[in-house]
A and B are shown apart, each in its own frame.
Chain A
Amino acid sequence: MTVLLEARALRRVHRSGRVALDDVSLSVGVGARIGIVGESGAGKSTLVRALLGLEPLAAGDVLFGGTPLSQCDTRAFRRAVQPVFQDPRSSLNPRLTVGRIVAEPLECLGIDGDHALRVREVLADVALDASFAARYPHELSGGQRQRVAIARALAPAPQILVADEPVSALDVLIRDEIVSLLDDLIARRNLALVLVSHDLSVVARLCTEIAVMRDGRVVENGPIERVVGSPVDDFTRRIVALATSSSR
């Protein structure tokens, strides 16, 4: 499998001296679907931000197409690797219309072509009709806002979606819709997915590989059937047991 994006022995130390990432490696191939699970403070979001090139690293490298981010074509990287964040209320600019929001990566990345047409296409992909382009984020429901955030990520035709808790701010029934939508979009476009979630059931629905993080380290990783089916690490065992306990 061709490796698109790779984290090699990442180390991130905060000014307080806290080690947020400790020797973390991760490889994202074409069409890979990797779930990152762990509790708050485990380093999941820091890893995601590092993969997006947004974290200063004490050691290690993030490579895009085999080239360290510091040396690669930033526009090509940004175009290929698109983020979806947790809370669409704070990640969508409230002063812009949905059309402008979705077109923004096209403008920032200098992508040619008919932007209005592209906006209509990706809105249709997330099952929002063209009339949404004229609306503002505050006029939308939580689920619609997250659809807009996904449409924005899809607009530059990326190869990898990096999604940090994309459904945890949503009510359960809406969460199901968005998970199905992501599943469908990723399959149709053969996108790779790096998904951070504290909810193992969401990861089970969307991912084929899993990395379990704790205290800045990856404590267990591999194909999801193996990690969830026969966890080796104690912490992994406990979160699997809790997610599948009979009361749920």
Chain B
Amino acid sequence: MTLLEVRNLTVRFGDNIVVNDVSFDVATGGRLGIIGESGSGKTMAMLAVLGVLPSGAEVSGSIRCDGVELVGADEDVRRSVRGRTIGMVFQEPLTALNPLMRVDRQIGWPLRLHHGVSRRDADAAAVEWCARVGLDEPERIARRLPHEMSGGQRQRIGLAIALAARPRLLIADEPTTALDVTVQDDILGLLESLVDGEGLSLVFVSHDLGVVARMARDIAVMRLGRIVEKRPTAELSERAADPYAKALIESARRGTADLRRLLRGES
């Protein structure tokens, strides 16, 4: 069953077309990776799905989430989807989190907004979420402010906020790009287990092919606002037809080739 259906999505700012006739589906339990470089339109496409584009954006085409059309919908409709059906985690948790609000209140906010949960119950749920995203001493850490945490801890909080209201689809936009490789590995492992455990659908956006290949079953390659290639992850490296997609694959391959050679003890 299709949970998210995007058809001919176009986003423009005046004459500048940033997302150009993009179509993709995410099935229930599906995992789509979107890869592209800065300015390829991948983040703008995700902001369009969430209905949080910067002012001045003109959107055309169709975005249906769980059967509900979002393009041109009232803000009430979009708000009922955002956070409840679709959760989102961003690249830089330091800027995505409210610096003045304790993290338990931030995790609990979607519960209060979408499910009418009392503050006390939301606080308790927030502590549970802190534990579920692998934070030690959840009661203590829940009362902290974002600046009192490390980058990896902040991104765990970002995940807890995104998942607190039990969405069915998680959009993760470069969630590990700002993190060190070992922390990135930990967070990706956590994300995998949460997505599996909650039976979530996932859209994972990144410029890093290795990371996308790990997280997604299907990969769409974006360039200059368009999807230039879309294939199951397992087939991408063998079957890619688009020259740009091929260049990305070749670059990733070359990146590890030198290291593998060193590992084999050749110089």
Residues of A within 8 A of B (CB): 39-40, 171-173, 175-176, 198, 200-202, 204-205, 224-225, 228-229, 235, 238-240, 242-245, 247-248
Contact = CB atoms under 8 A, between A and B. Distances in A.
Given A244-B256, A248-B214, 18 more contacts: A39-B182, A171-B38, A172-B248, A172-B251, A175-B251, A201-B256, A201-B259, A202-B255, A204-B258, A204-B262, A205-B255, A224-B262, A228-B262, A229-B263, A235-B182, A240-B263, A242-B185, A243-B259
Determine chain A's interface SS by DSSP, over half rule.
Answer: helix
Q: Which 4 A-B pairs have the closest CB atoms?
A: A248-B210, A39-B180, A201-B255, A171-B37
A34 B200 CA distance: 44
Contacts of B16: none
A150 to B, nearest CB: 20
A248 B262 contact: no
A242 B181 contact: yes
Contacts of A248: 209-210, 213-214, 252, 255-256
Given A39-B182, A248-B213, A201 B258 contact: yes
B254 interface: yes
A198 B190 CA distance: 22
A143 to B, nearest CB: 11
B267 interface: yes
Contacts of B262: 204, 224-225, 228-229
A229 B267 CA distance: 10
Given A176-B251, A247-B210, A40 B263 contact: no
A239 B258 contact: no
Contacts of B256: 201, 243-244, 248
Contacts of B147: none
A24 B49 CA distance: 50
Interface string B204-218: 000111110110000
Contact of A242 (B182, B255, B264): B182
Contacts of B52: none
B259 A244 contact: yes
A125 to B, nearest CB: 23
Contact of B181 (A172, A198, A202, A225): A198
B260 interface: yes
B180 A172 contact: no
Contacts of B213: 247-248
Contacts of A224: 262
A239 B182 contact: yes
Nearest to A223: B267
30 contacts: A39-B181, A171-B38, A172-B207, A172-B251, A172-B252, A173-B248, A175-B251, A176-B254, A198-B181, A201-B256, A204-B262, A205-B258, A225-B262, A225-B267, A228-B263, A229-B263, A229-B265, A238-B182, A242-B182, A243-B181, A243-B256, A244-B259, A247-B210, A247-B211, A247-B213, A247-B214, A248-B210, A248-B213, A248-B214, A248-B252
